[in-house]
Amino acid sequence: MPDVVPPKETPADRGHHSVENVTTASGASQAINREIGQHVGDTKGNKEFLQAASADLQKNGLLPEMAVDFGKKHFKEYDTDKDGYCSEAEIRRGLQKNQDSLTPAERLAGNYLADKVADPNSGLTYWKGLMTEDRLNQYGKDTATKYDEYKNAQAVLAAFGSSKDFSALDADKGGSISADEMRQKLAYNERRLSEDDISQKTKDKFEKENKALKYMLDHQGEMNNGSGYWGSDLNLKSMKQYAADHKNPGVTEGTYGVTADMVRGSAEVEAKAAAEAKAISDAKAVAAAAEAKAKADAAASAKAKADADAAAKAKEAETPKDEGKATKDKPSDDTPWPDLKPGKKFKEKFGIPDLTEEPKVCKPGDPSCHIGPPPENEAPQKPKLETPGQEQTKKEEKSEKSDKEEKQPEKQEKQEQPKPPEKVEKPLTELEKLAVKAGASTLETAGAAYKDAAEKGKGVAVMIVGKDTPGSQELLAKLPELIRQNPNLNFVVIDKDKVNSSADPAMASWKSWVNQSQSSYNHAFTSVQSIKRDANGNAMPDRVTSTHWGAQNIEAGLQDQGRYAADGTRRNLQQPPADTTKPASPIKVPEAPSPDEQVKKTEHQQKPNNDKPSDRPNNRPREVQYARSQADIDAAIKANDELGLPTIIDVTRSHGCGNCDSQNPVMAKLAKEFPGQIIKVDADSQLGRSNSIPGSTLPNIFVRSQGQNRSMQGFQREDVIRRALQGK
């Protein structure tokens, strides 16, 4: 036996162990209620347990989430004056009133929420200690974002925070890592993960690295923070600074006070615990009584056996050994039984029970075993005979039942009417299922979404996603909130893998548009459009008001452009139907265009002749124009479209970007030759982030001409920009 015994687990250890593997607020609540329920009455131990558990739950962000869930559930109940606000006093009165029906986890979350409402710096207070439902929801989102950023920053440091791991990622050994180097490492890891002989340790390492790499690509600009070695590249210092700026928000919360009213079960839990304790006590008493009876029975049996053995020995001693003579077959009455020893025959002769054999257990219904005297006048059971009349009646009943069973299918066949053939719908892909669950339309229902937008004066946001397309999962994760934030937009999600694999001729126009939209950059893509009607009154795209790549910072830009697109739709609905001689948008509702429409070229689809600067208006600014809002960009594009001129949007940075410094003189020179056609956007602004390609090399140069889009990345020569401005 070992000399050292393991230490006894403390209530604090209980608290840590019960929540260390919990990942959801509901799981944390169940763990707390289970622990308190198992230790009902242990006030001191439960208080220490709950104190330790609440500290852990603050560090991983689950206690704030529990508090937000509690507030959403009880807000209307605790808002006693029904003014739309909930104060600290109202929350504490509600906790006191319902203390017998609340679980320990609910009391913990409710008191935490009340403390946060009382704290003016918590971000939860609307005005002078008052909380609204909107502020509660926003507090939950902000808190979740802080914890998510902290966890991702720690994951990046764990994967590439050491000099060794960072150097392995820095392929060119230039002291920084670029987006291309990160993508190369990501592709290498994916290739290794597909191998069959990879070890579990290596697999776990690559999966953690891939998660960190994807986050680094999506947040490269934020992690660089202007301190990159070259352009938007990352170095080890900037990565560590990013982690330092995104600390665990729960560490600054301090120790949350646990009160005595939190460490007991609800009235129902207390009653259940008392009943269980009584049942255990009763069971122990019954077991003790049964054990005592078994011991008494065993003692009685042992005494009876001893007495029987003593009587047998005494009887044997009293019998003379040579009295009488025995015959060959049977001994005489006076002759002793020489072979008779204390045993079975002796006991049978003198009627002594055999206590060495197990008593026979009688089972109900066993005719060979009777308890007590045999039953009197017991007659043998005879089989019940049926008269010929009874047999005939049974046969008739069986025959009628068989006839009914045979006629039943005929009746059912008569009742069933032929149904018209059902329309076979194409199965949804996994990405389409996520979109439908969020409330968006798919390619099959896009026509209805365009029609609804035309009837209600809304715009349409078309999202292109794919199974292996970066940013798709993040965009679909944001989709429910984007739909809620943008009532002016109908959302249509297109799975590009499904479109490209379809052999349906009706998909040809969609396939062409999808491939054209992602020809320059393979990333999740969102196109916001206004709607008009054609000569037949059918809804169709009018113009693309904005485009967005990925899911990062899409919310603000989408809200502005959603309103702009809806305004354009409403203006179009007040005008006569569109002229069919004008070209349609590259996006169409899912019906294949006729061959004549595909071949036909209209006048304003022809490239404008911009070779002669003298043909352009002289009153336009002959310098690069800076856009301060999306409206500035849209106004410039609209003005140039009316003149048949292309527009260049140059997303650039004024410092810390070598490519941008080289590109700026080229743009300044061409702005004098092509007035009003070059618009600059600061890449570090909100407008720049929503109009740039995530993870790409600056500058991002977008060419917009008559609704057509194309993009270029990095420094471009003067002749390339000139041809773009000429529409070539």
Q: Which residues pair with 548 in a beta bridge?
A: 526
Q: Is the peptide bond before 380 cis (omega within 30 degrees of 0)?
A: no
Given a cut of 90, is residue 648 above it in pLDDT? yes
Query: Residue 249 and residue 550: Cα distance in Å, rounded?
Result: 28
Decide which of 515 and 149 is more confident: 149
Give percent of the chain above pLDDT 90: 14
pLDDT at residue 610 in the model: 44
pLDDT at residue 224 in the model: 78
Q: What is the mean pLDDT of residues 300-329?
A: 73
Model confidence over 61-102: pLDDT tens digits?
898 999 999 999 999 999 888 888 898 888 989 988 888 888
Q: What are phi and psi of 26, to 5 degrees?
A: -65, -40
* Residue 314's pLDDT band (cuts 50, 70, 90): confident
pLDDT at residue 361 in the model: 47
Q: Extract the tokens encoding 689.
A: 């982030």
Decide which of 16 and 52 is more confident: 52
Q: Dump the DSSP string for 45-108.
A: HHHHHHHHHHHHHHHTTHHHHHHHHHHHHHHHHH-TT-SS-EEHHHHHHHHHHTTTTS-HHHHH
Query: Residue 474 and residue 713: Cα distance in Å, rounded?
Result: 23
Q: What is the mean pLDDT of residues 635-663?
A: 86
Given a cut of 90, is residue 597 above it in pLDDT? no
Model confidence over 343-400: pLDDT tens digits?
555 555 555 555 444 444 444 555 554 444 444 444 444 444 444 555 555 555 555 5
**C-alpha separations of 705 from 412, 586, 612, 644, 651 in Å:** 66, 12, 18, 8, 17
Q: What is the mean pLDDT of residues 583-590?
A: 38
Q: What is the mean pLDDT of residues 138-147?
A: 90
- Sole residue written with tokens 């795209």: 541
What is the number of alpha carbons within 13 Å of residue 696 lying toward its C-beta? 26
User: How far apart are the two ends of the chain, measured CA to CA in Å?
Assistant: 89
pLDDT at residue 680 in the model: 92
Query: Residue 321 and residue 309: Cα distance in Å, rounded?
Result: 20
pLDDT at residue 352 in the model: 52
Q: Extract the tokens encoding 495.
A: 């799975």
Q: Extract the tokens encoding 191.
A: 């290739």
Average pLDDT, the chain: 76
Q: What is the CA radius of gyration of the chain?
A: 43
pLDDT at residue 423 in the model: 46
* Residue 577's pLDDT band (cuts 50, 70, 90): very low
Mean pLDDT lowest among 217-231, 294-308, 388-402, 483-497: 388-402
pLDDT at residue 253 in the model: 56
Of 130-134, 573-577, 620-624, highest mean pLDDT: 130-134
Q: What is the mean pLDDT of residues 586-610?
A: 41
pLDDT at residue 683 in the model: 85
* Residue 598's pLDDT band (cuts 50, 70, 90): very low
Query: Residue 562 and residue 488: Cα distance in Å, rounded?
Result: 6
Q: Which residues pair with 703 in a beta bridge?
A: 648, 710
Decide which of 405 and 647 is more confident: 647
Q: Which residues make Cβ contacts (< 8 Å) with residue 208, sequence separation at least 6?
A: 155, 158, 159
Give percent of the chain above pLDDT 70: 71
Q: Select from 626, 716, 635 the least CA-distant residue to 678.
A: 626
Mean pLDDT lowest among 8-12, 21-25, 181-185, 337-341: 337-341
pLDDT at residue 612 in the model: 42
Q: Are the CB atoms for 667 and 650 separated by under 8 Å?
A: yes
Model confidence over 440-489: pLDDT tens digits?
999 888 889 999 998 999 999 999 999 888 888 888 999 999 999 899 89
